[in-house]
Amino acid sequence: MAIKIGQTIGLGQSLTMTPQLQQAIKLLQLSRLELEQFVETQMAENPVLEEVSAESTDDYTSMEREFTETEAVKGRLEEASSIVDQVSKNKENEVDWERLSNYEESRHQASSGGSKNNSDDESPNYENIVTKAATLQEYVLDQSREIDFSDRERAIAEQISGNIDDRGYLVMSIEELAEKESFDLETAEGVLDTIQHFDPPGVGARDLRECLLIQIRHFKLRNGIVERIVSNHLHDLENRNYSAVAKALGVPLEQVYSNVAVIAGLDPIPGRQFGPDAPQYIIPDVYVFKLGGEWAVSMNEDGLPRLKVSPFYKDMLKDQKAQAVKKSEGKDYLDDKIKSARWIIKSMEQRQRTIHRVMEKILERQKDFFEYGIQYLKPMVLRDIADALELHESTISRVTTNKYVHTPRGIFELKFFFNSAIGRSDGESVANEAVKSRINEIVKAEDVNKPLSDQQIMEMLAKENIDISRRTIAKYREQAGILPSSKRRKPF
């Protein structure tokens, strides 16, 4: 049978992802910081979008009132402001934006009054100055500039400083560096020795052994034994095999303990204080608090601009002259921008409403956690919340990713409340986060001279009707950053 190419007409159904729907999905999965940046970008690109001011809240009031009345718990969010800082309030009891605006304006005028009176002053605008912490490499290089180096030695110092990693270690051997840059090896060794006397102590070391020896020299801790332990017995030190060290050195075990305590006071990562990453501050998206014996959920609207369609452009559409040029390109452009602005406002409201609904269901199912602690966290998967809210699992996943909740027990990512189940011998199940917390408690309460093995921890959990394998305990222990029992022992 010959194959022919032809056209046919068929009727079918398919889901089309419109640009508006794609934008709504994108808004749903944005973190709070990303959402703020998105709003700023949209306000810059769309002249129709405006931030709601105290004098023009008519368009926003009805929408906000509907949201708070249906989502707040028995209308008591007003009272919650005295218990939880920065909790979003009902529109009727909102912050006096006009008073705050006047305060900010007066403060700005007071702070900028001097500059107005001295407009000819060419002093720099300090608001445009961005502070940046010095890196470890820059810090070492600055110290090298204070040394009376020759031009050749200064060039070597720059190369060495550039090859020091964030831990403080030299990542390229001095031989490779000298060969690559055509330096004299002896001169390069001398410059490296000078850099190893810089601050922080231990910088420029090529390995852990050299790093510790530099610090021993810097802090004048030399006594013969401590240097020999670092030079020849780091492996035994790592495995807490102090008896082998004592036997090899021919000294009493107590003397080994005292010298190991000295070594423990040294820093194996001298560049720790120059961490490459700045601390990340978390702003919660939602608050959970107890009020009058009942748990309540409230969105954190602080810092999020409240948007509206500019009345200036809406009036322009109604203007008779604008109607006369209805088919002009300017009118079409304005129509598109207004539709886009309204869709963004609607999508943001839908995003906040969805997060609120999801958090309410999480609170409903994990109320024991909020009441009594992590040991009472229940197993829960995305499908549980999706079925309860009649949403898709992917929607719940987007809602709970990079979203944080402030609770009386701390700040948690919404993903934290979704846990796999671990069986119990009594037929019930427990969340894996609860088991991790219990393992951490057991380790903290153990005898440091005789730390518990994974097998012993498994047996202790079995007595609490928690059925878990030793391998799983080892995995949870590693995830929590807990060392094996052989490395947790502290005999001194």
What integer pLDDT is reported at residue 64 of this predicted model?
42
Rg of the chain's alpha carbons, rounded to an integer?
32
Question: 366 and 416 in contact (C-beta within 8 Å)?
Answer: no
- Domain membership of residue 57 (yes or no) is yes
- Domain membership of residue 127 (yes or no) is no
pTM greater than 0.85 (yes/no)? no
Structure tokens at 440: 């951490």
What integer pLDDT is reported at residue 107 of this predicted model?
47
- Domain membership of residue 312 (yes or no) is yes
Task: Answer yes or no: do 320 and 248 share one domain.
Answer: no
Task: Answer yes or no: do 415 and 437 share one domain.
Answer: no
Strand (E) or helix (H) holding 412: strand 410-413
- Domain membership of residue 112 (yes or no) is no
Q: What's phi and psi for 26, nearest 5 deg?
A: -65, -45
What integer pLDDT is reported at residue 404 of this predicted model?
94
- Domain membership of residue 7 (yes or no) is no
Task: Answer yes or no: do 410 and 440 share one domain.
Answer: no
Last residue of some domain: 360, 395, 419? 419
Question: 171 and 163 in contact (C-beta within 8 Å)?
Answer: yes
Q: Which of 336, 291, 284, 338 is nearest to 311 (CA)?
A: 338
Alpha helices per DSSP H over 30-96: 32-45, 58-71, 77-80
Distance CA(203)–CA(462), nearest Å, equals 48
The SS3 assignment for 173 reads: coil
- Domain membership of residue 66 (yes or no) is yes
Last residue of some domain: 244, 271, 298? 271
Residue 63 makes CB contacts below 8 A (sequence gap 6+) with 349
Cis peptide preceding 200, ω within 30 of 0: yes
How far apart, in Å, do the first and last CA atoms of the chain sit? Answer: 88
What integer pLDDT is reported at residue 130 of this predicted model?
52
Residue-number span of the structural domain to which 315 is assigned: 20-89+278-419
Task: Answer yes or no: do 405 and 481 share one domain.
Answer: no
Structure tokens at 190: 């001398």
- Domain membership of residue 204 (yes or no) is yes
Task: Answer yes or no: do 182 and 246 share one domain.
Answer: yes
Question: 159 and 214 in contact (C-beta within 8 Å)?
Answer: no
Task: Answer yes or no: do 444 and 400 share one domain.
Answer: no
CATH label of the domain that carries residue 439: 1.10.10.60
Residue 435 makes CB contacts below 8 A (sequence gap 6+) with 422, 461, 466, 468, 476
Place of tokens 């807490």: 240
Task: Answer yes or no: do 431 and 389 share one domain.
Answer: no
* E-only strand ranges, 47-166: 49-51
Distance CA(442)–CA(286), nearest Å, equals 32
Task: Answer yes or no: do 245 and 158 share one domain.
Answer: yes
Alpha helices per DSSP H over 366-447: 367-372, 382-389, 393-400, 432-445
When divided into structural domains, the chain yields a total of 3
The SS3 assignment for 300 reads: coil
273: DSSP letter = G
282: DSSP letter = P
Name residue 154's amino acid. Answer: R
Low-confidence ranges of the chain (pLDDT < 50): 56-101, 103-104, 107, 111-121, 127, 320-322
Last residue of some domain: 271, 290, 306? 271
- Domain membership of residue 300 (yes or no) is yes
Query: CA separation (Å) from 476 to 129, 370, 437, 458, 471?
Result: 45, 23, 10, 12, 9
Task: Answer yes or no: do 306 and 411 share one domain.
Answer: yes
Buried b (16+ CB within 10 A) or exposed e, 430-455: bbbbbbbbbbbebbeebeeeebbebe
Question: 426 and 299 in contact (C-beta within 8 Å)?
Answer: no
Question: 47 and 341 in contact (C-beta within 8 Å)?
Answer: no
Task: Answer yes or no: do 189 and 82 share one domain.
Answer: no
Task: Answer yes or no: do 204 and 216 share one domain.
Answer: yes
Task: Answer yes or no: do 253 and 153 share one domain.
Answer: yes
